[in-house]
């Protein structure tokens, strides 16, 4: 079984924030694979279903959107993982990554939090740091003092196209992730939603970053 978490903040006022792109990823996954309706459990909202594997088999999956606010994401994720007796390798977390250019995507396992409070909270929980991370690039505002306001502000209208393509690609390529093929999953997401590899701190008017 897989536990797939999307990070964000609960409530309508945060729905369009860069910080909430993780919520959008798991919502797209739930829609694409016909998961159950969202319901409250584990200090979050969950949906249950199955993901087809490339070989035709299927794997059970639980999607979760923590409702604890970003800084306490670990409470919800670790509670769900503990209940289902999952190891860190069974847990994948989708979240916004300011150190990747808008639209870029990278998978990694373990490591530091790089200043992301949701990732820091999960790593500090009973689950530990060695979970799988789906890093969705949103770009960097250019200075550390601007990061808080940047991630808690909405995507610009000019961002809508690449955001939708990245979210959809994360859902479409998911069978590779479910099969444990993280490198292939990363490559397929980028094939489906190509984005320019550039300095995440460089503004781009076409993408509306910053």
Q: Which residues are catalytic?
A: 19
Sign of CA dihedral 46, 71, 152, 92: negative
Question: Looking up tokens 């993982």, which residue turns up?
Answer: 81
> Could you tell me which of 136, 57, 122, 137 has the C-alpha nearest to residue 91?
122
Report residue 209 as tokens. 């970053």
Residue 169 · residue 132 · CB < 8 Å: no
Provide DSSP, 28-92.
Answer: HHHHHTTPPPPEEETTEEEEEEEEE-TTS-EEEEEEEEE-S-GGGHHHHHHHHHHHTT--GGGEE
Angle between helices 21-32 and 160-172 (to 10 degrees): 50
Angle between helices 160-172 and 182-192 (to 10 degrees): 140
How many whole angstroms separate alpha carbon 56 and alpha carbon 140?
Answer: 40
Measuring CA to CA, how many Å separate 91 from each of 29, 48, 112, 187? 15, 14, 16, 20
């Amino acid at each position: 079984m897989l536990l797939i978490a999307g990070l964000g903040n609960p409530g309508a006022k945060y729905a369009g924030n860069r910080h909430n792109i993780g919520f959008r990823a798991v919502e797209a996954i739930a829609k694409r694979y016909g998961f159950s309706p969202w319901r409250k459990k584990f200090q979050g909202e969950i949906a249950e279903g199955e993901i087809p594997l490339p070989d035709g088999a299927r794997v059970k999956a639980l999607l979760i959107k923590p409702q604890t606010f970003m800084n306490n994401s670990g409470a919800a994720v670790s509670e769900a993982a503990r209940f289902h007796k999952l190891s860190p390798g069974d847990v994948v977390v989708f979240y916004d990554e300011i150190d990747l250019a808008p639209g870029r995507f990278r998978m990694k396992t373990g490591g530091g939090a790089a200043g992301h409070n949701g990732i820091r909270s999960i790593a500090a929980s009973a689950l530990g740091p060695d979970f799988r991370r789906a890093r969705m690039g949103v770009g960097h505002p250019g200075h550390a003092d601007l990061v808080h306001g940047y991630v808690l502000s909405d995507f610009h209208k000019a961002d809508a196209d690449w955001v939708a393509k990245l979210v959809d690609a994360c859902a479409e390529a998911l069978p590779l992730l479910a099969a444990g093929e993280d490198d292939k999953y990363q490559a397929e997401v980028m094939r489906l939603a190509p984005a320019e590899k550039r300095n995440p701190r460089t503004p781009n008017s076409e993408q509306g970053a910053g």
